[in-house]
Structure 1
């Protein structure tokens, strides 16, 4: 039996555009959300590149809220895509171009975050290796080779993930 049943979130259907004014509002909302999210992402990228991880982590609530709004705006646009493609194809084209720029900037952010993760992991592994070498006794076998330490000589390193 499943002890922790998954909660299902009730989703409401996204309202679709039925007038040119609605279509314009949806497009403006999408552009505003992407612009705001892009601003936060660019700031996060700058902070991570500068090594200011605490400050970058402080942007998380704002980034989460804007991401939620972005997903909602995409849902609304998907619900209105048929109407938009028939009545305002130039608006849809503009949104696609803007979204391509948004995706490119997001890819830069993801690359910076992945690099920071890889560097920090490398540092932790280096510290662990150094600590393990200090804990390993320098002994030799009868053949004059360095003895391989047993598991009891390996001491795990503990890392606090909270900053």
Structure 2
């Protein structure tokens, strides 16, 4: 557990300018680490490295929890923070808005990856479920072909690692 995580777990009360700056800096540190991790995850998903992106989930959850505890501390001490460190409060708000934009991008990338994977699965299912008819029947019949399966049909293999 980092110093910032430990301080944010202690539920401090802001009683001066030093306390205000320390609390906001700790929240900004947690937000910065979380933003970096979300950015990495977004890029990994964008390039199709899903298993590697998934390895970041435990640390991301930990950092998100730390950040949320920090936000709660900021809310509890909002009046004191506005009085003792208005510039840092402004910085925190700006960082939070930038993080929201990063989360929106992350959500778009994840939705795109989900849509692509669903499309691939749907196409595979449609191909696997096509009726296999003999080439010798129907309007496009070739008499004497004697083949009762699609020429390229074979076993369906799906990777569960994706």
Q: TM-score range by the shorter chain?
A: 0.7 to 0.9
Q: CA deviation at 1:93?
A: 1.0
Q: CA deviation at 1:136?
A: 8.8
Q: TM-score of the superposition, structure 2-length normalised?
A: 0.73
1:122-156 Cα offsets, whole Å, 9 max, x none, are: 1111111111214799x99xxxxxxxxxxxxxxxx
Partner residue, 1:36: 33
Matches within 5 A, 1:8-157: 14-134=11-131
Q: CA deviation at 1:14?
A: 4.0
Query: How many Å separate the matches in 1 of 2:39 and 2:100?
Result: 12
> Larger radius of gyration, structure 1 or 2?
2
Structure 1: runs of 5+ lacking an equivalent:
1-11, 141-156
Q: CA deviation at 1:161?
A: 5.9
Name the Cα RMSD after superposition. 2.8
Runs of 4+ in 1 over 2 A off after TM superposition: 12-16, 134-137, 159-163
Q: TM-score of the superposition, structure 1-length normalised?
A: 0.73
1:83-140 Cα offsets, whole Å, 9 max, x none, are: 1122322221111111111111111111111110111111111111111214799x99
